[in-house]
Structure 1
Amino acid sequence: MDDPMETRLKPYVIDSNEALDIKLIRKEDDLEDDDTSFSPEMSHQVFGDSETIFGYKDLQVQLYYSAGSLETYLGMKYTEKLQKGEIDDVEPDDVFPKLMAKLTPPVYDNLDAFVKALSKDEKFKPCGELLHSFTVNDNGNNRQFEVYKADMTCQGFKEYHDRLQMFILWYIDAASFIDVDDDQWHYFNMYEKFTTSGQQRYATIGFATVYQYYAYPNHTRPRIAQVLILPPFQKLGLCANLLRAIYRQYIGSNEVKDITVEDPAIEFQRVRDYVDAINCMKLPSFSRQLLVQGFNKDMINEARDKFKINKRQSRRIYEILRLQMTDLSNEQEYRDYRLDVKKRLNSPYKRGLQDMKKLESLGNVAIPPPEQRIQSLEKEYRSLEEDYKKVIRRLEEVSEQ
């Protein structure tokens, strides 16, 4: 039987991801254009693990930004609000304080004042050094994008970055704001360069942060930490271009040992695989006749020396490119490839097997039977092959253009 109290409260519970309406405003008309709205993928870091807001009907939380400088407006709309004492002592959630604790001031709560602040974008210019510019054909419309590298010495950049990093809470799980006082952080920001009313403007598209670690004896090892292309600009190949810009910054430096990535999301790993595969296809050690002979030190050294690709990633690229050239209808050829990959996947298990046997003799652990390990390995391989095939399809789409 349903709880009567729960039944009465249910209409006042709303999914915070659905309630939040985010916009990047280029012109005043965008305020009323539903096509400019987008939603978060997650909101637990602001609204709690349940990702719900209680106490309102038809709630819309409006989080609007000017497209360039990210001037911020926060507002709310709803058709009904639960009043204190209306249902026992239950009170509606206080939404604004939860958001204001994360947002960077000033935050406008008056829409007219925010509209006036949009004029600041007329003078907005990206901070830092221009690293990469490129054009994307978006359904017949040529759009121009630029990537800049900035640091905290650039006037106004800290305040801009503080506003920009709010987006990671909506799109990067377990994300946290970085320590901007640590000068080992490098900042890469992407903008669209466009013209409106005969005036050139810049709109924020996405960003990446890279931490420069020390590597013995006198090298550095840049680690890509956060990468985000904002939702309205995804599926245009922009993340690959952002990654290329980062590579350009480091691959020419003798001080840089290699480039790593911190806990890459699946989607970003595919972009990384795609960019690295295009680069490695140019290298002699990754030629077709050598790929079939197996992974070797020449591949490791050449990928690292030419493109700062680390050993683990160069092995992954080898597997992708070898799969691309493998005739899957040739039973022996395909079997040789699978065994090669599975041997690599099984190495950590084999290395730890002796320790597991010691623990098993003490009664602390039970080693799974061989057939269970074989099934687990096959599942792991199949998942990996599907990821590789997605990268290969993208490589082949580019080669056909």
Structure 2
Amino acid sequence: MAELSVAKKNDLEEYRCSANDAIRFKFVRTEDDIENVDGVFHPEMTHQIFGDSEMIFGYKGLDISIYYTAANLVPYFNISFKAAVNEKQFDVPADNVEKLLLDDLPPGYVTSLDQFRQALPEEATFRPFGELIDSYSVETRNGTRKTFEVYFTKIEEPGFRKYHSRMQTFIKFFIDAASYIDVDDERWDYYLVFEKYVESGNPRYALAGYMTTYNFFAYPERVRPRISQVLILPPFQKMGLCARLVQTFYNVCYSRGEVLDITVEDPSENFQRVRDFVDCSNCGKLESFQADLLRGGFSRDMVQEAQEKLKLSKLQTRRVYEILRLKSTNENNKQMFRDYRLDVKKRLNLPYLRNRRTFKKLERTLQPDELSQTLGVMNNDEQRFQYLEAAFQEDVRAYRHVLERLARD
């Protein structure tokens, strides 16, 4: 591309727009919903598709509409804009938006609104896939009650493979570092959340979210289910559906004798908070997690009871212990809070103790400069103390968010 003048560069800036703002998602239940602006939501991220800048070049007033029928997820895709960059004038083409999105658009999408409208009558006959395993009602912020149902299914369920290929296209827009799973692996399980509502006296459904879990083998004949992807779609967030979905999955695991413990794959900060809330709610009812025992320190009884009754791993049990001990700690009592802080920092210090053992081994074989480069600052006490304090404060901030929700619920 030829060197551009400052004026032309400024002109080109007018043709840059945020992909997060340009993309509009919507679930459509009736024809009236198509033109209604209510219910539109935007992606939380697009960097996996449009790069770290999350910008699209070449258009003014860009609108990328990705609509789905609420139950069957029949997709509609449309691009419109007020103006496009003149390639001959600036010697730079506009981004091919459809091509960039192609791998992450729901398969079988239509570009005609007439075709999309023709799919709407089929919403009346949709029924969820798999086995109904939970049903409950939720009161929304405006005081209305909504009914939700949770279904368990496998990929072999008739019609679900195609449905999943559409459903999974949301994850790159709402889950950081998300990737599509290998659905041909039979060890995947799927949990689907639907809103159940009434239209013209008949039951209707709308997808609200889903979760995938993977059954890892645990020698000799046990399994470790791992939560992989969890997504509650934006129109249904802030209703407690994620916590309820996690608890529903837990309940299934409790009934499976072969389950050793439950793990989570690289949880986001938001999901870890939900997980902590559910686990603290459950552990708070166990005998070994009562306040007087919590103040006595982390114990083998806690690990054993949480594993046997709640299928929690030792790592997550320790985290729950720290949250619940903070709850039972009077922060105005300096000695009590000091004991708590030292207990948490003792856990945070474990990697440094391991590094110190490594240091002792390496110092017999490496020169001082080589040793310094290899170990970095792991033996710098001042920096270690700074790290421990920062890590402690970060954990406590996260724990307080969980305790605030426990207090509300």
User: Residue 397 of structure 1 corresponds to which residue in structure 2?
Assistant: 408
- How many angstroms apart in 2 are the aligned matches of 1:86 and 1:64? 35
Post-superposition offset of 1:2: 7.4
- How many angstroms apart in 2 are the aligned matches of 1:373 and 1:106? 55
3-state SS in 1 of match to 2:88: coil
Query: Are residue 369 (structure 1) and residue 371 (structure 2) matched?
Result: no
**Pick aligned residue for 2:110 from 108, 116, 119:** 108
* 1:238-317 equivalences in 2 (<5 Å): 238-317=241-320
CA deviation vs aligned residue, 1:158-180 (integer Å, no higher than 9, x gap): 11111010000101111110000
- Aligned amino acid, residue 56 of structure 1: Y
- How many angstroms apart in 2 are the aligned matches of 1:127 and 1:332? 56
CA 2–134 in structure 1, closer or farther in 2 if over 3 Å, else same = farther
Residues paired across the two proteins, number: 397
Please report the TM-score for the alignment, with normalisation by the length of structure 2.
0.94
- Aligned amino acid, residue 392 of structure 1: L
User: Residue 182 of structure 2 corresponds to which residue in structure 1?
Assistant: 179
Is the contact made by 2:107 and 2:165 (CA closer than 8 Å) also made in structure 1? no
- Aligned amino acid, residue 145 of structure 1: F
User: Residue 20 of structure 1 corresponds to which residue in structure 2?
Assistant: 23
- How many angstroms apart in 2 are the aligned matches of 1:354 and 1:289? 35
User: Residue 136 of structure 2 corresponds to which residue in structure 1?
Assistant: 134
- How many angstroms apart in 1 are the aligned matches of 2:75 and 2:25? 11
CA RMSD for the aligned pairs?
1.5
CA 350–2 in structure 1, closer or farther in 2 if over 3 Å, else same = farther
**Pick aligned residue for 1:347 from 342, 346, 350:** 350
- Aligned amino acid, residue 110 of structure 1: S
- How many angstroms apart in 1 are the aligned matches of 2:261 and 2:166? 31
- Aligned amino acid, residue 134 of structure 2: H
User: Residue 40 of structure 2 corresponds to which residue in structure 1?
Assistant: 37
* Percent identical: 46
Query: Are residue 117 (structure 1) and residue 128 (structure 2) matched?
Result: no
User: Residue 389 of structure 2 corresponds to which residue in structure 1?
Assistant: 378
3-state SS in 2 of match to 1:304: helix
Moved more, 268-277 or 112-121: 112-121
- How many angstroms apart in 2 are the aligned matches of 1:354 and 1:307? 35
User: Residue 82 of structure 2 corresponds to which residue in structure 1?
Assistant: 79
3-state SS in 2 of match to 1:61: strand
- Aligned amino acid, residue 104 of structure 2: K
- Aligned amino acid, residue 146 of structure 1: E
Post-superposition offset of 1:131: 1.2
- How many angstroms apart in 1 are the aligned matches of 2:294 and 2:62? 57
CA 319–2 in structure 1, closer or farther in 2 if over 3 Å, else same = farther
- How many angstroms apart in 2 are the aligned matches of 1:375 and 1:2? 49
User: Residue 93 of structure 1 corresponds to which residue in structure 2?
Assistant: 95
- Aligned amino acid, residue 8 of structure 1: D
Query: Are residue 49 (structure 1) and residue 52 (structure 2) matched?
Result: yes
CA deviation vs aligned residue, 1:116-145 (integer Å, no higher than 9, x gap): 212221111110111111110113211101
- How many angstroms apart in 2 are the aligned matches of 1:329 and 1:69? 55
- How many angstroms apart in 2 are the aligned matches of 1:397 and 1:48? 39
CA deviation vs aligned residue, 1:81-118 (integer Å, no higher than 9, x gap): 22431323x11111112223322331110012101212
Unaligned runs of 5+ in 2: none
Please report the TM-score for the alignment, with normalisation by the length of structure 1.
0.96
Unaligned runs of 5+ in 1: none
3-state SS in 1 of match to 2:331: coil
Moved more, 377-386 or 112-121: 112-121
CA deviation vs aligned residue, 1:40-63 (integer Å, no higher than 9, x gap): 111122223331111111000000
- Aligned amino acid, residue 327 of structure 1: N
- Aligned amino acid, residue 169 of structure 1: K
3-state SS in 1 of match to 2:176: coil
Post-superposition offset of 1:324: 0.4
- How many angstroms apart in 2 are the aligned matches of 1:12 and 1:198? 49
